[in-house]
A and B are shown apart, each in its own frame.
Chain A
């Protein structure tokens, strides 16, 4: 892991050049809030550094809402995605386990992964529902991303995380190794401050394993209570960085269209004869938490909830899963 520094003005000019050879996405602030946007030169001054998560998750860059998976993909420019919070990077670990499973590699997913440089952004502040730290996920990346970026004292500081990131940053004219140790200690200090903020704001939230245990023992009434405001819209699963369920739709010519799906939609588990284990709303609602906190952790190394809190923000019924977990923990 090495640090590189480049003056912000120089980096902004480099980005103008990078846009020509890469498709660049960055977290940008605009009138709609802060989200990943396709970067245009005019957006460069509005790129956000050091900020917590964008509105939507990283998932859709690798798993489009809908795509034909039986036709060949057009050759696309390589991509850079910049400003990814670590909750999204950690979410990608689970996607990698599922879609790069050696028995059945999804070539569409793999192609996109291979063609993308991931530049994560350290969070120097938090949002209301951020709770990554409760699940032992740091507000900065140490794996999976290629590089991490922060803005400090008028400079952009990169931390290379792997060989791909190191190779990329070494080619950036004007990026020089950081020799000033105070910059690195300054970044470390910021990390610790953010971690302290996350611990303070989530001090009564049970950890991942405890949450799984609590959920497994939760009675029917709690699921009825918290699902009473659920309209099965699937916003929670759509915005989640780790929910990846999909449907295959048949098209003429034995073509298949893969479309994102969700266990929150009625009929998700319905079989031809009509039986549907998740017919009742409280069962569907419970299923999502059982999947995330009990079943997926038994199957995969990566966590199925990275504590981004987006499902709480997206819910039109204002259902707050952390309130549910706090109630279970009482």
Chain B
């Protein structure tokens, strides 16, 4: 049946709730009208009827299939329309697309997650997936940096993870405010605070390109093997099918060959941080 499916046609999903995460970030809770599931790290094309669509990695648990959550930062034309939507309206979903995180490969290991900015949305989904298999993991360390304390979304998530066996979280901000008594500095600086057995660890990096670049450099300096650094790449993923060419990064279509790559897969591809 797959062969007769129209690969361009979205399914409709009812917007049941909108959660304000910050002044320019909202989480949309959606109930798809057809069966829908995804693997953590995969992305979807989410559309506003008649306006446009954009790629997002769901921020909800991949184990929950009756609804999904997508966290959207207001950054451009389509996301501005998304932020004007109201519960009860319908959005379009295509996907899920691409290769997500190979969670089974993390079994028996320490997992370091280095995130920045809006990169926390896909990371939240990964954290849910890792929580479900925590018995098979040694430990999970989340190092996350945001511009200001107010820009850090999902604050209850950090409290909950800190109370969860095998999970540790570290936060930093580029610019502190009066109520902040934690670290100040870029996300990478948190790597000096953690204890991790690199010989039995993998790292996941997700965030703005500049953070991913310097994060990866730092992880390599720490001794991480190239094939144990997982990068969640972001390009102009448009069709999601490995056809339209907009997300081409060297020989890879980020939408189909990624969006999750190991650094060893990408290291000879030029301009990956652009």
Contact = CB atoms under 8 A, between A and B. Distances in A.
Interface string B242-257: 1111111011000010
**Chain A contact residues: over half helix, strand or loop, or mixed?**
loop
A106 B48 CA distance: 23
Contacts of A294: 251
B248 A254 contact: no
A275 B234 CA distance: 11
Contact of A104 (B4, B236, B242): B242
A295 B49 contact: no
A103 B246 CA distance: 19
Nearest to A257: B8
B116 to A, nearest CB: 14
Given A245-B246, A269-B235, A250 B76 contact: no
Interface stretch (B50-58, B103-111, B156-164): B50-58
Given A254-B47, A275-B209, A298 B251 contact: yes
Interface residues of A, number: 40
Interface in A263-285: 263, 268-275, 277
Given A107-B6, A295-B250, A99 B235 contact: no
A251 B9 CA distance: 12
A273 B77 CA distance: 10
B243 A244 contact: yes
Interface in B215-274: 234-236, 238-239, 241-248, 250-251, 256, 271, 274
B50 A103 contact: no
Contacts of B2: 105
Contacts of A107: 3-7
Contacts of B271: 277
B49 A250 contact: yes
Nearest to B118: A273
Contacts of A247: 238, 244, 246
Give the 8 A-B residue pairs with the shortest CB-CB distance, closest first.
Answer: A272-B76, A245-B245, A252-B50, A277-B274, A298-B251, A69-B8, A104-B241, A272-B75
18 contacts: A70-B9, A99-B243, A101-B241, A104-B243, A105-B3, A250-B47, A250-B48, A250-B51, A253-B49, A254-B12, A254-B47, A261-B245, A268-B246, A272-B75, A272-B77, A272-B78, A273-B76, A295-B248
Interface of B: 2-10, 12, 47-54, 75-79, 92, 209, 234-236, 238-239, 241-248, 250-251, 256, 271, 274
